[in-house]
């Protein structure tokens, strides 16, 4: 009996959720959706997920290589066999031609080559594959330098400022910095700006290694040879560095795109390469300068120092060529039965630094399984009302390039038709469920996870996820989108609501050990998490596809804006104590009332029965426009390509989210010059959103609250 208790608990939770009204659904439509979801979940399969992952991850497949083209062909064949229409969109982009030539060695006081490759692990057959590369950073400058060494902690802007404050010059030196704290490209940018001759980046065991647990292969943590590869691209936009704002269409195509001269692009000029902490130790243990400030000590067993001293010399050589390369975006389409011009888009990239079992292809395999499950239902006559698109992006690892070129190619169409974008990059990589989303999609994610069981736990995914909730909150931690993956162009350039959810855990991030041996031993031994994540994505996608009114949470805008405005106020008050967002918060209160009025009118509208099709289409067109209230043609001061006033990647760290980025950038400069103008821009965006929601309420036959929309 005790073995039945978890199953009974899960069944009770799922039954309770099924009795709760689905956001955006009339009662009759919800009943159909519940039946659809039951059939969909029954169609998912761990064996299919496993077969797809194993098929794609037998060999390393870097963007631009024949091996990656074989993965592309597998994607096309699988989706076609599942009954989806498949289109392949080629783009010609500038791309590094592999790692090139790399050498790192001690020169003085001893001559000793330093390791730049992961060890071969006898039990891991993949680790000896001849197609594996040494550790390397795409978009490194080329050069051969021998110099002294300065340790710069994480290589953040504030770390270089601290070195200058301490009187430690990096000019003409090789900087040694650890991963973490910011995007690796900004480590290179800040090192070059400070006059460094080169940069070595390593993963410190205090961050990922034996200080966190047992190293690989016995445990999941980095061993002394593990190396994180990665892009260094830091141009002030996302995508192909030669074609900002324009798609990098094929050079031999009919439409010609003006490309920048590579010599005019602000690429890094200094040589940069990653090394394992075993190699970093051989440098750090020989340093003789002053001790490091608080917070700079890492996990190696000696005191860290700032300067190598006159007796320590290191050689760093990188020769890396950039060439025009054709890459391919693979997009499968399942046309909507009623609203084919309303698109729900799901995507993940398929190129990898090595085998890519976790990053990205756990997400790729999940999406392939999803196309088969939904394709089977469609072939049986159960088609989604709106169009579903599943996209597989190329050249993400080099700088989120493929998805960006697609968005730039179809910018106008996506602006009109896209309902949402769900990102599945590395979506099935551990046992902990996590997520980030734009405000309007947060409730969708929370509701969907209440409808999916977490394997072998007696809980739903939502109940499992609840363990992450912060003190004083009653829902799981659901963060905000920053940089680093394929949602960027959809969300921050075109204004399509976006979301990124999945499972996570310890990872051999961007190393050769991201293979099936590691995946099966540490990440997902039974492969059961594949169909679980597939069910979450499928539930979210089909609820968006089949709802009467798009199930956006419009009240969440006010909730999150309040949080972000208060955070901005706190940051700016550190250098301008009288700064206040009181006027903007008052606008948000009006927005809150307007959103509540809309939701009440929507519930009443849906409760009356099946809504009129033409009226529903008009309402949903207006709903798709809500996120675009934050788009600003002027763009951000740190990069005009980033058009969303709501969210952007932090341009000083790359990965972190900047909420209300126009304010955040001004605060990062500790400037007051543009605060008034920025406040006017945000006031306009909030009023625009309020007006749009009030207009929806009137379309539904309700009334906006007093002080709501302007007349």
Q: How far is Cα 487 from Cα 205, in angstroms, rounded to an integer? A: 31
Say yes or no to pLDDT of 8 above 80: no
Query: Over 70: is that where the pLDDT of 575 sits?
Result: yes
Cβ atoms of 298 and 63 within 8 Å: the answer is no
Q: Residue 412: how many CA atoms within 13 Å on its side-chain side?
A: 1
Cβ partners under 8 Å of residue 471, min gap 6: none
Question: Was domain 101-232+268-320 assigned CATH 3.50.30.30?
Answer: yes
* Helix, strand, coil fractions of the chain, as percent rounded to 5: 40, 20, 45
Q: Give 655-679 pLDDT, tens digit per residue.
A: 788 999 999 999 999 999 999 999 9
Distance in angstroms (rounded) separating the CA atoms of residues 55 and 48: 11
- The Cα–Cα gap between 672 and 301 comes to 45
**Around Cβ 679, how many Cβ atoms within 10 Å?**
17
Same fold, 101-232+268-320 and 555-699: no
How many other C-beta atoms lie within 10 A of the C-beta of residue 469?
Answer: 13
DSSP conformation letters of 408-475: HHTHHHHHHHEEEEEE-TT-BSSSEEEEEE-HHHHHHHHHHHTTSEETTTTEEHHHHHGGGPPTT-SS
What pLDDT does residue 692 have? 98
DSSP assignment letter at 91 = E
Task: For 46-96+324-546, give the CATH class.
Answer: alpha beta
Average pLDDT, rounded, for the chain: 95
Buried b (16+ CB within 10 A) or exposed e, 272-308: bbbbbbbbbbbbbebbebeebeeebebbbeeebbbbb
Q: pLDDT, tens digit, for every residue of 322-375?
A: 999 999 999 999 999 999 999 999 999 999 999 999 999 999 999 999 999 999
Q: How far apart, in whole angstroms, are the C-alpha atoms of residue 594 and residue 382?
A: 36
The pTM assigned to this predicted structure is 0.95
The share of the chain scoring above pLDDT 70, in percent, equals: 96
Dihedral sign computed on CA atoms, order 517, 521, 525, 529? negative
Q: How confident is the model at residue 18 (pLDDT cuts 50, 70, 90)?
A: low
User: 544 near 419, Cβ under 8 Å?
Assistant: yes
For 528, other C-beta atoms within 10 Å of its C-beta total 15
CA distance 61 to 456: 34
SS (H, E, C) 171-192: CCCEEEEECCCCCHHHHHHHHH
Distance of alpha carbon 615 from the chain centroid: 35
Q: Which two tokens stand for residue 238?
A: 């996302």
Half-sphere exposure of 39 (CA within 13 A, CB side): 18
Half-sphere exposure of residue 203, counting CA atoms within 13 Å on the CB side?
A: 27
d(CA 327, CA 325): 6
Residues facing residue 88 across a β-bridge: 330
Phi, psi of 689, deg, nearest 5: -65, -45
Structure tokens at 18: 């099924």
Q: Which DSSP string do the residues of 296-348 spell out, in sequence order?
A: ---SSSS--BSB--TT-EEEEEEE--EEEEEEEEEEEEE--SSEEEEEEEEEE
Q: Please give the pLDDT value at position 708.
A: 47
CATH assignment of 555-699? 1.20.930.40
**Confidence band, pLDDT 50/70/90 cuts, at residue 13:** low
Q: How far apart are CA 108 and CA 106, in angstroms?
A: 6
pLDDT digits (tens, 9 = 90+) for 40-77: 999 999 999 999 999 999 999 999 999 999 999 999 99
Strands 386-393 vs 322-334: parallel, antiparallel or unpaired: antiparallel
Three-state secondary-structure class, residue 628 = helix
Closest alpha carbon to 52 in 509, 427, 399, 460 = 427
| Complete DSSP assignment for 555-597 | HHHHHHHHHHHHHHHHHHHTT-TT---HHHHHHHHHHHHHHHH
Confidence class for position 647, pLDDT limits 50, 70, 90:
very high
288-300 pLDDT tens trace:
999 999 999 999 9
pLDDT, tens digit, for every residue of 615-632?
889 999 999 999 999 999
Of 496, 423, 504, 503, which is closest to residue 647 (Cα–Cα)? 496
Domain ranges across the chain = 46-96+324-546, 101-232+268-320, 555-699
- 109: cis peptide before it, omega within 30°? yes
Q: Tell me the C-alpha distance between 405 and 408, whole Å.
A: 5
pLDDT digits (tens, 9 = 90+) for 322-331: 999 999 999 9
The per-residue pLDDT for range 137-161, each reduced to its tens digit, is 999 999 999 999 999 999 999 999 9
pLDDT at residue number 703: 66
């Amino acid at each position: 009996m005790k073995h039945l208790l978890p199953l009974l608990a899960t069944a009770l939770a799922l039954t309770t959720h099924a009795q709760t009204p689905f956001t955006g659904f009339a009662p009759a439509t919800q009943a159909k959706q519940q039946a659809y979801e039951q059939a969909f979940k029954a169609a998912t399969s761990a064996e299919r997920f496993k077969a797809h992952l194993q098929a794609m991850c037998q060999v390393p497949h870097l963007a631009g290589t024949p091996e990656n083209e074989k993965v592309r062909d597998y994607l096309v064949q699988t989706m076609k066999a599942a009954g989806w229409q498949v289109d392949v969109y080629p783009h010609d982009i500038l791309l590094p031609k592999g790692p090139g030539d790399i050498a790192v060695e001690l020169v003085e006081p001893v001559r000793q080559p330093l390791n730049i490759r992961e060890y071969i692990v006898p039990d891991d057959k993949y680790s000896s594959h001849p197609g594996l590369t040494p550790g390397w950073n795409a978009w490194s400058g080329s050069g051969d330098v021998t110099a002294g060494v300065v340790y710069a902690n994480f290589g953040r802007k504030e770390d270089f400022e601290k070195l200058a404050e301490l009187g430690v010059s990096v000019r003409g030196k090789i900087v040694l910095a650890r991963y973490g704290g910011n995007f690796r490209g900004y480590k290179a940018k800040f090192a070059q700006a400070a006059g460094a001759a080169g940069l070595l980046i390593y993963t410190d065991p205090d961050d990922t290694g034996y200080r966190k647990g047992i190293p690989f292969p016995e445990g999941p943590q980095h061993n002394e040879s593990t190396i994180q590869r990665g892009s260094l691209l830091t141009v002030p936009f996302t995508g192909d560095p030669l074609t900002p704002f324009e798609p990098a269409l094929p050079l031999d195509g009919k439409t010609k795109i003006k490309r920048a001269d590579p010599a005019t692009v602000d690429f890094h000029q200094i040589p940069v390469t990653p090394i394992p902490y075993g190699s970093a130790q051989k440098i750090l243990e020989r340093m003789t300068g002053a001790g490091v400030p608080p917070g700079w000590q890492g996990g190696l067993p000696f005191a860290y120092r700032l300067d190598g001293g006159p007796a320590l010399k290191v050689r760093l050589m990188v020769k890396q060529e950039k060439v025009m390369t054709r890459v391919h975006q693979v997009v499968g389409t399942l046309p909507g039965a009623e609203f084919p011009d309303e698109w729900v888009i799901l995507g993940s990239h398929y190129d990898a630094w090595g085998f890519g079992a976790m990053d990205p292809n756990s997400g790729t395999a999940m999406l392939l399984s999803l196309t088969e499950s939904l394709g089977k239902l469609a072939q049986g006559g159960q088609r989604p009302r709106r169009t579903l698109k599943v996209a597989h992006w190329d050249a993400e690892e080099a700088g989120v390039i493929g998805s960006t070129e697609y968005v730039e190619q179809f910018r106008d169409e996506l602006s009109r038709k896209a309902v949402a974008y769900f990102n599945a990059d590395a979506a099935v990589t551990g046992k902990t469920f996590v997520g980030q989303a734009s405000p309007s999609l947060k409730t969708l994610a929370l509701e969907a996870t209440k409808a999916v069981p977490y394997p072998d736990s007696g809980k739903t995914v939502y109940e499992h996820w609840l363990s992450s909730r912060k003190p004083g909150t009653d829902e799981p931690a659901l963060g905000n989108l920053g940089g680093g993956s394929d949602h960027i162009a959809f969300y921050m350039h075109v204004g399509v609501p976006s979301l990124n959810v999945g499972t996570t855990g310890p990872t051999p991030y961007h190393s050769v050990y991201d293979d099936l041996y590691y995946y099966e031993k540490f990440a997902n031994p039974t492969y059961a998490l594949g169909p679980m994540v597939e069910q979450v994505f499928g539930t979210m996608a089909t609820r968006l596809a089949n709802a009467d009114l798009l199930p956006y949470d419009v009240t969440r805008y006010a909730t999150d804006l309040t949080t972000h405005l208060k955070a901005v106020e706190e940051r700016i008050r550190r250098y301008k104590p009288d700064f206040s967002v009181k006027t903007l918060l008052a606008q948000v209160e009006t927005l809150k009332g307007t959103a509540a009025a809309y939701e009440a009118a929507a519930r009443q509208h849906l409760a009356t029965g099946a809504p009129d099709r033409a009226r529903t289409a008009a309402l949903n067109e207006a709903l798709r426009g809500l996120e675009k209230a934050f788009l600003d043609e002027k763009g951000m001061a740190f990069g005009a390509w980033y058009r969303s006033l709501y969210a952007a990647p932090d341009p000083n760290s790359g990965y972190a989210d900047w909420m209300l980025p126009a304010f955040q950038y001004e605060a990062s400069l500790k400037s007051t010059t543009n605060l008034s103008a920025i406040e006017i821009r945000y006031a306009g965006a909030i009023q625009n959103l309020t007006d749009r929601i009030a207009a929806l309420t009137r379309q539904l036959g309700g009334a906006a609250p007093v002080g709501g929309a302007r007349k």
